[in-house]
Structure 1
Amino acid sequence: MSITTAPDKVKLMQEQKLQELLQHISKNSPFYKELFAQHGIDINAIKTIEDLALIPTTGKEDLQKRNNDFLCVPKDQVIEYASTSGTLGSPVTIALTENDLNRLTLNEYNSFVCADGQPNDIYQLMLTLDRQFMAGIAYYSGLRKLGAGIIRLGPGVPSLQLETIQRLNPTAIVAVPSFILKLIQAAKDHNIDLNQTSVKKAICIGENIRNTDFSLNILGKKITEAWDIKLYSTYASTEMQTAFTECSHGRGGHLQPELVIAELLDEDNNLVPANTPGELTITTLGVEGMPLLRYKTGDICMYFNEPCACGRTSLRLSPIIGRKKQMIKFKGTTLYPPAMFDLLNEMEEVLDYVIEVYSNDIGMDEVLLHLLPLDDSKACDNRIRAYLQARLRVSPHVSYITAEQIQKMQFPEAVRKAVKFIDKRVNQSEGN
């Protein structure tokens, strides 16, 4: 299907794939068989995208409690076991068949093409390629299908990343934006001019680089002010086995309509209009092992449906505003971790940070910022506290810690990515 296919034809294609999904899960998924029976749902009455509203949503808690009941194939057909990072509670295992791995490859191939990837590119992968991390294998297999060169270097170790860039001359990197900042600092420390290297673009994963109006946020600005490279943002989750990736116009992550149906829902599970925050709810298309129907991701964002300047007619997602479960109610103010990340990234006096939220003795949210300050002077402390008060209108607790302490907090044993947010509230779990 072409990227410029008319929306009505795309909808017909999705509805045909939806029929196939409903038949598959009604026969093979213990969870969905039970759901349909409990709610008296006749899958043959679900004909259109609009009819999805007749089906209850599924949430992360369902997957955590009944993980194995979502499996739709015999175990001898499972080729790969991936898992979520456990950011919002216990990790969830996602089982993939050979066809699912091929679909994952297609998903990431489409994503790299959307982000101007070419067969003559060489990508340096600065991310985990083990520990059941689906994204790692997705990027690798998508780049193989693209025909591009791949350097599997893994996460961290800025000095090794820089040495490899100089030695192998990649044209692109795939990395977490905050790590790109560490790379920039390491280059300065070693008198390396990144603008004289071969790298011209970065696929940014795991963190926002834009505001909801698509302008670069502080993290994105800090990167591009120091390094003249093109940034492409991407958003995905293990459960949906699909990515939303920006094109060169940087106006939101493009939906891949042949792979997923996206709904954005309000608190009452009603569809929200364009340009309005809602919870991303997805229905996977073409997944064999663990397909999902109306699965609420917990991520709050907006969608835009006018055609993109790149010619694609598919829906686009804004940067993630926040995770529903991570919303903080602090002294009458609603805060989301991404907004606080932007604030702390903006402060020259703060070199690194971890945000901790916990419940006080009357059950209200409290915020504690673990900060690595520029220096330990009283003047630096005063500037930090005054800035936080001015920007947040409330004063969180502040704890100054060393670089060694912050490293231990951000990288506890066996984590796949830096922990920047710790949730110690009652009935909440640790994550970032």
Structure 2
Amino acid sequence: MPEIEQATPSEIKSFQEEKLREVLHYVSAHSPYYRRLFKQHKINILDIQSLEDLTGIPTTTKDQLQRYNDDFLCVPKSKIIDFVTTSGTLGEPVTIGLTDKDLDRLAYNEAISFACAGIGESDILQLTTTMDRRFMAGLAYFLGVRKLGAGIIRVGAGIPELQWDTIFKFHPSYLIVVPSFLLKLIQYAHANGISLSDSGIKGAICIGEPLRNQDFSLNTLGANIKSHWDIDLYSTYASTEMSTAFTECIAQQGGHQHPELIIVEVLDENENPVPNGKEGELVITTLGVQAMPLIRFKTGDIITAHTDPCICGRNSLRLGPVLGRKKQMIKYKGTTLYPPAMHNALNDFTEVDSFVIEIYYNEIGTDEIRIKLATKKPSNDLLHRIKDHFRSKLRVTPGIEFRPIEEIQKLRLSKLGRKPISVIDLRN
């Protein structure tokens, strides 16, 4: 546990303000984009001395990152050791370059994140995500486990049979996994007479999908996993742009910020800070990044920050589960919805094998939702039960239709083939 994470809130703030001044001098000297931004808005970086002063700098959006991608680079391309891209879920993928120093930072980030979840040198982790396809996370996990001194088995995505063969051959203690894939492993185990209690798996570092409700209780997906397989579930949240993870500790009360790696703001629609415990958009400033540091980058993720002390001894800020993406917010029949809420409702039905949520404008220009489901036994009874459940949970009922599994799988296949897509926004 880094000492700064155990420091007092005021000490953490002072530490971050010093790091902020360092990164502002760095981008002012090396980033074409931020030099231009500071000049255009007549910003003197010497006036930015505190975290509160950050509001004097305009935010950076994903659109700007896409449009001026190369202008964010602070080093010659000859210094880039690794190139990765974002998933492109909300637009064209952004290229992120990493220097050798950035890879060291990435390894440090994941090492202390794994340690936050209680993983140590004696553990072996099974990696069930890809390390190729320009995917930062898979590489980050590998580098982090290596720095931690633990063991890792790079199995890759999918193939439950191979995953179970690896579990019994190498006896890993933790899985790095997308939560819904745990359900596929459970289904395969049940179908093939595999005892889950004999697996030796202690826990799972869960990525890409929310496990918890806003009060940190397990959501439907998390509860479903735990009801079959009694392992510890740890949520971790990150993005390619921030090169930093927020991972749960043993208290499982939100993902801890690493103050030496990232500054956090939570802003409302007018870019004003929200009160503690209120939802807003996560805005980050990276610290210690050499190739492509970002100042006040709007992630598009709607979250709630928590600053009360944690029983693990860390005093760093914690992030609650992601409510949704700002661009995917839906105003539907007077109700504000985010796709994760619909995911949770659909996860209550074991009959649903796969689904995709389409968001589009109807003929009068307002938001409309169409959910396409794949099930082995489509019926009017199932359709009515799902609609009633939506009315009960979310107060609205979107359009729902049964479609062949092959059609759903094709729709869920992302352009880069790195992770399945469950939401298709047709409004742009």
Please report the TM-score for the alignment, with normalisation by the length of structure 2.
Answer: 0.97
What SS does the aligned partner of 2:205 have?
Answer: strand
1:219 maps to 221
8 Å contact kept, 2:383–2:400: no
Go from structure 1 to structure 2 and tell me whether the alpha carbon gap of 1:165 and 1:311 turns closer, same or farther (over 3 Å shift): same
1:414 maps to 416
**How far did residue 374 of structure 1 move?**
5.0
Larger deviation, residues 352-361 vs 318-327: 352-361
1:12 maps to 14
1:256 maps to 258
What SS does the aligned partner of 2:354 have?
Answer: strand
What SS does the aligned partner of 1:308 have?
Answer: coil
Match of 2:309 among 307, 310, 313: 307
2:336 maps to 334
**How far did residue 381 of structure 1 move?**
2.6
Q: Which amino acid aligns with 1:220?
A: G
Query: Superposed, which structure 2 residues align to 1:167-178 within 5 Å?
Result: 167-178=169-180
Percent identity of paired positions between Structure 1 and Structure 2: 54
What SS does the aligned partner of 1:283 have?
Answer: strand
Alpha-carbon distance in 1 for matches of 2:399, 2:170: 46
**How far did residue 413 of structure 1 move?**
5.3
Match of 2:198 among 196, 212, 215: 196
Go from structure 1 to structure 2 and tell me whether the alpha carbon gap of 1:8 and 1:352 turns closer, same or farther (over 3 Å shift): same
Q: Which amino acid aligns with 1:400?
A: F
- Kindly indicate whether residue 268 of structure 2 is the aligned counterpart of residue 266 of structure 1: yes
Alpha-carbon distance in 1 for matches of 2:135, 2:330: 28
1:208 maps to 210
What SS does the aligned partner of 2:302 have?
Answer: strand
1:371 maps to 373
**How far did residue 389 of structure 1 move?**
3.2
**How far did residue 235 of structure 1 move?**
0.3
Alpha-carbon distance in 2 for matches of 1:413, 1:161: 25
Deviations 1:79-123 (A, max 9, x none): 111110001100001111111110011000010000111111111
2:248 maps to 246
- Aligned residue pairs: how many? 426
**How far did residue 77 of structure 1 move?**
0.8
Q: Which amino acid aligns with 1:41?
A: I
Unaligned runs of 5+ residues in structure 1 are 428-432
Deviations 1:259-307 (A, max 9, x none): 0000101111111111100110000011110000011101011111111
Alpha-carbon distance in 2 for matches of 1:373, 1:346: 14
Alpha-carbon distance in 2 for matches of 1:413, 1:278: 29
Alpha-carbon distance in 1 for matches of 2:189, 2:156: 18
Alpha-carbon distance in 2 for matches of 1:390, 1:50: 42
Alpha-carbon distance in 1 for matches of 2:415, 2:98: 26
**How far did residue 183 of structure 1 move?**
1.0
Q: Which amino acid aligns with 1:172?
A: Y
2:51 maps to 49
8 Å contact kept, 1:349–1:384: no
Q: Which runs of 4+ in 1 moved over 6 A?
A: none
8 Å contact kept, 2:28–2:34: yes
Go from structure 1 to structure 2 and tell me whether the alpha carbon gap of 1:39 and 1:146 turns closer, same or farther (over 3 Å shift): same
**How far did residue 15 of structure 1 move?**
1.3
8 Å contact kept, 2:6–2:314: yes
Match of 1:34 among 33, 36, 50: 36
What SS does the aligned partner of 2:6 have?
Answer: coil
Go from structure 1 to structure 2 and tell me whether the alpha carbon gap of 1:291 and 1:413 turns closer, same or farther (over 3 Å shift): closer
Alpha-carbon distance in 1 for matches of 2:382, 2:306: 42
2:281 maps to 279
Q: CA RMSD in A?
A: 1.2
Q: Which amino acid aligns with 1:111?
A: S
Alpha-carbon distance in 2 for matches of 1:49, 1:37: 21
8 Å contact kept, 1:262–1:282: yes
**How far did residue 412 of structure 1 move?**
4.6
Alpha-carbon distance in 2 for matches of 1:348, 1:26: 54
- Kindly indicate whether residue 417 of structure 2 is the aligned counterpart of residue 423 of structure 1: no
Larger deviation, residues 341-350 vs 32-41: 341-350
Match of 1:103 among 86, 105, 115: 105
8 Å contact kept, 1:348–1:374: no
1:430 maps to none
Larger deviation, residues 167-176 vs 404-413: 404-413
Alpha-carbon distance in 2 for matches of 1:44, 1:257: 22
Alpha-carbon distance in 2 for matches of 1:313, 1:342: 31
Alpha-carbon distance in 2 for matches of 1:308, 1:392: 32
2:25 maps to 23
What SS does the aligned partner of 1:385 have?
Answer: helix
**How far did residue 379 of structure 1 move?**
2.4
1:319 maps to 321
8 Å contact kept, 1:354–1:406: yes
8 Å contact kept, 1:374–1:380: no
What SS does the aligned partner of 1:302 have?
Answer: strand
8 Å contact kept, 2:375–2:405: no
Deviations 1:288-328 (A, max 9, x none): 10000011101011111111000000000000011100001
Q: Which amino acid aligns with 2:202?
A: K
What SS does the aligned partner of 1:366 have?
Answer: strand
Go from structure 1 to structure 2 and tell me whether the alpha carbon gap of 1:274 and 1:413 turns closer, same or farther (over 3 Å shift): closer
Alpha-carbon distance in 2 for matches of 1:27, 1:402: 55
Match of 1:74 among 65, 73, 76: 76
**How far did residue 361 of structure 1 move?**
2.0
Alpha-carbon distance in 2 for matches of 1:412, 1:118: 34
1:131 maps to 133
2:151 maps to 149
Alpha-carbon distance in 2 for matches of 1:386, 1:112: 41
